[in-house]
Amino acid sequence: MIVHHDSEHDCLTLQLGERFDFSIHRDFHEACLGAGGAARSYVIDLGEVTSMDSSALGMLLLLREHAGADRAEIRIVNAGTELRSTLRVAGFDKLFMLH
């Protein structure tokens, strides 16, 4: 996982690797929910992700709550067809901006 914080726009970008699952839970948590307060916006880049499990969905929901729930600006980008379908079936297209 590559984490980049654009301090000028207060945007935290997470570029995830092949697996978005429980194995990255600690790193995801530290990057998004760690010591500092919530960023103004988040970008979750799924361009390299080939597998995602239910814990990934849970991590996204925790991030949404941390970022202000309905006020949260979280964009999920570069999701492949299968991942995009999973996110839609789970109703995440109503909770997050899917690009």
Please list the pLDDT of the chain residue by residue as tens digits (99 residues): 999 999 899 999 999 999 999 999 999 999 987 766 789 999 999 999 999 999 999 999 999 999 999 898 999 999 999 999 999 999 999 999 998
The residue among 92, 13, 14 whose CA lies nearest residue 57 is 92
**Backbone torsion region of residue 20, taken as left when φ is above 0, otherwise alpha when ψ lies between -120 and 50, otherwise beta:** beta
Predicted pLDDT of residue 35: 60
CB-count burial class (<10 Å; 0-12, 13-18, 19+) for 74: buried
Q: Which two tokens stand for residue 16?
A: 């995830």
Predicted pLDDT of residue 32: 86
